[in-house]
Amino acid sequence: MADFSTKGLDQIIKALKGKQPYARIGVLGTSASRGGGSSNAQIGAAHEFGTSSLPMRSFLRMPLAENLDKRLASAGAFNKDALNRLVKEGSILSWVEKLAILAEAIVGEAFDSGGMGKWAALNPRTMARKKIKQILVESTQLRNSITSEVVGG
């Protein structure tokens, strides 16, 4: 019977035990304030979920749900090299940090593309009045308030 080493497996198990780091993305901390009136968090929630007067224009949930797995896969987050790095580091912290950066980029792409082309169009008169001809982008305060943080690890 041949001997084999379980060192790599043991390191993966060790890395996954205990409290794991996780990423938060959205309007976090001081980026929520806007200076008078509604906060970026309030304005973002109104658009993310919709209101009686605003259609839902998800800039967080929809783009991440539809694109994050695909983008992680294409970035090599699930390949053998990524697994080897996890084993070598003994933690998923750097992987979660990369996930957070990628998630922020996807949200930025949603703002650039009208929610990947899925957001309800603006009234033509509203669009004609806008300085920046993008949905949810006028002052750029909401878009610029989207940040991420990695917690734990």
Number of H helices, E strands in the chain: 7, 2
Collapsing DSSP to helix, strand or coil, 129 comes out as helix
Q: Answer whether residue 114 is part of any domain.
A: yes
Token output for 46: 């109104």
Q: Answer whether residue 101 is part of any domain.
A: yes
| DSSP structure string for 45-113 | HHHHH--SSS----SSHHHHHHHHHHHHHHTTTTSHHHHHHHHHHTSSHHHHHHHHHHHHHHHHHHHHT
Buried b (16+ CB within 10 A) or exposed e, 123-148: eeeeeeeeeeebbbbeeebbbebbbb
Mean pLDDT of the region 81-108: 89
What is the domain range of residue 56?
21-27+37-147
Mean pLDDT for the chain overall = 87
> Which percentage of the chain shows pLDDT scores above 90?
44
Q: Answer whether residue 11 is part of any domain.
A: no
Q: Answer whether residue 41 is part of any domain.
A: yes
Provide the pLDDT for residue 2.
63
CB 136 within 8 A of CB 59: yes
Q: Answer whether residue 112 is part of any domain.
A: yes
Buried b (16+ CB within 10 A) or exposed e, 8-27: eeebbeebeeeeebebebbb
Residue 10 CA neighbour count, 13 Å, CB half: 4
The count of structural domains within the chain is 1
**How does pLDDT run across 39-50, given as a tens digit for each residue?**
889 999 999 999
Q: Answer whether residue 132 is part of any domain.
A: yes
Q: Answer whether residue 119 is part of any domain.
A: yes
Q: Answer whether residue 109 is part of any domain.
A: yes
Can you give the pTM of this predicted structure? Answer: 0.83
